[in-house]
Amino acid sequence: MNFFAHVGRATLGLLREVGRLSVFTGDAVSSFVRPPIYWSLILKQIMRIGYFSLPVVGLTAFFTGAALALQIYMGTARFGAEQFVPTVVLIGILRELGPVIAGLMVAGRVAAAIAAELGTMRVTEQIDALTTLATRPIKYLVVPRLLAALISMPILVAIADAVGVFGGYIAATKSLGFTGSIYLSTTMQALTYQDVMSGLIKAVVFGFLIALMGTYNGFNSRGGAQGVGAATTNAVVSSSILILAANYILTYIFNFFNF
């Protein structure tokens, strides 16, 4: 087969995928507010997506904050600027590492779980069975997961922020010789509304991307165990890449508007 056929096929495949994803997203988002709204399912998913992610998000945020404090100390000590450690740790965690670390951890945990669950339901015809029982699969399966992720992620990131800053505090006071009260008061003085909000806005976007990639890949999985495996991998890989790409774009936008 010649070169142009390959390029053409790849392009068409990409466009088809983008189109399918757009239709899926449109379907899901337009079903957000239309009744019936399955409150109990949303709560159940908040438990699974949010609550059960707390340990892993908390632990990763703690160690990231602690390592960040050590690194920044190394960097700033060269210029005798060690006093900026609390401030830089704070901004780094709130604006960048809190949302990204939480996003990637939740992507690994939740996007995979959603894709595997919905993928298995697809290949065992449970999703078709929903239709024959006069229940819309998008409303029943996709919307609760999307809403739960949108609600859970900002809360998880807020907790990751607090734990991350605490990790920095522990590292600074235990290994770097900072005085606890001075570290804390510097942190409190540096704290701004914009730093917190920009991280939480990122969290909402990441939550949406995670649940969307999980449900989309699960919904479109094909052909048995192997297909479900592929869907799970795709969900984690695509949501991780999208999180990092969206993170750059959002950071750029916040910088542009001086937010």
Partner 1 sequence: MSSAASPAKIELRNVKKRFGPKVVLDGLNLTIPRGQSLVIIGGSGTGKSVTIKCVLGILKPDAGEIFVDGEEVTGLRGRARDTFLRKFGMLFQGAALFDSMTVWENVAFGLIQGRGVAKKQARDIAFETLAKVGLTADVGELYPSELSGGMQKRVGLARAIAADPEIIFFDEPTTGLDPIMSDVINDLIIATRAAGTTALSITHDLTSARKIADQIAMLYKGKIIWQGPTSEIDHSGNPYVDQFIHGRAVGPIKMEVKA
Residue 89, token pair as written in the block: 């740790």
Residues 141-175 as b/e (b if ≥16 CB within 10 A, e otherwise) read bbbbbbbbbbbbbbbbbbbbbbbbbbbbbbbbbee
Is residue 251 involved in binding partner 1 (CB under 8 A)?
no
**Which of 52, 84, 140, 166 lies at the binding interface for partner 1 (CB under 8 A)?**
140
Give residue 230's Cα distance to chain centre.
20
| From 130-138, 185-193, 212-220, 246-254, span contacting partner 1 (CB under 8 A) | 130-138
The answer to whether residues 137 and 130 touch, using CB atoms and an 8 Å cutoff, is yes
> Scanning the structure block, which residue is given the tokens 């339901």?
121
Of residues 137 and 168, the one with the C-beta less far from partner 1:
137
| From 6-14, 124-132, 184-192, 209-217, span contacting partner 1 (CB under 8 A) | 124-132
Is residue 52 involved in binding partner 1 (CB under 8 A)?
no
Give residue 136's Cα distance to chain centre.
26
Is residue 124 involved in binding partner 1 (CB under 8 A)?
yes
Is residue 128 involved in binding partner 1 (CB under 8 A)?
yes
Q: Compute how many residues bind partner 1; rule: CB under 8 A.
A: 13
Is residue 126 involved in binding partner 1 (CB under 8 A)?
yes
User: What stretches of 133-192 show up as alpha helix (H) in DSSP?
Assistant: 137, 143-175, 180-190
Of residues 10 and 244, the one with the C-beta less far from partner 1:
10
Is residue 233 involved in binding partner 1 (CB under 8 A)?
no
Q: What is the DSSP string of 242-254?
A: HHHHHHHHHHHHH
Short-list 225, 108, 202, CA closest to 150: 202
Of residues 44 and 191, the one with the C-beta less far from partner 1:
44
Is residue 43 involved in binding partner 1 (CB under 8 A)?
no
What's the count of helices (H) and strands (E) in the chain, helices before strands? 12, 0
Is residue 132 involved in binding partner 1 (CB under 8 A)?
yes
| Residue ranges binding partner 1 (CB under 8 A) | 121, 124-126, 128-129, 131-136, 140
